Amino acid sequence: MADPHAITVPVIQLPALPPPVTEGAAALGARGLTDQHRMRLHTELIRAGVPPHPGDLRTIKALAELDESAVTSVARWIRQAARIPAALPLAPPGRPDPRIDPRLVAW
């Protein structure tokens, strides 16, 4: 005997889902990865207080086409340079700059 309170639910066939997107260059494609690098470089420059000039855009685009490791290095250099105060006093002429380790300039 069938249960009088049972509900029959129709089965709906859904289309197959596309494969999941994986991280990295394979997921974004070369153009998407280059765009991601370009945006990262622009962000780092703006955070450092260096708005890119129109002539800089070609250089930023060329840097963005490099691999992830190179773009990460350039972004790190920009961040490091932004931490150095721009108005540090210079040493008087004829005297060595006390901020520079003489071992680094001996060569």
- Cα 32 to Cα 6, 15, 27, 39: the distances in Å are 52, 27, 9, 11
pLDDT at res. 101: 62
Rounded CA gap, 51 and 44, in Å? 10
Q: Which stretches of the chain drop beneath a pLDDT of 70?
A: 1-2, 7, 9-30, 84-107
pLDDT at res. 53: 84
Whether the CB-CB separation of 41 and 64 falls below 8 Å is answered with: yes
Q: What is the pTM (predicted TM-score) of this model?
A: 0.53
pLDDT at res. 15: 64
Whether the CB-CB separation of 36 and 24 falls below 8 Å is answered with: no
Domain ranges in the chain? 29-83
pLDDT at res. 104: 62
Rounded CA gap, 33 and 36, in Å? 5
pLDDT at res. 92: 61
For the chain, the C-alpha Rg in angstroms (whole number) is: 28
pLDDT at res. 70: 93
Neighbours of 71 (CB within 10 A): 21
pLDDT at res. 73: 92
**Who contacts 66 (Cβ-Cβ below 8 Å, separation ≥6)?**
37, 74
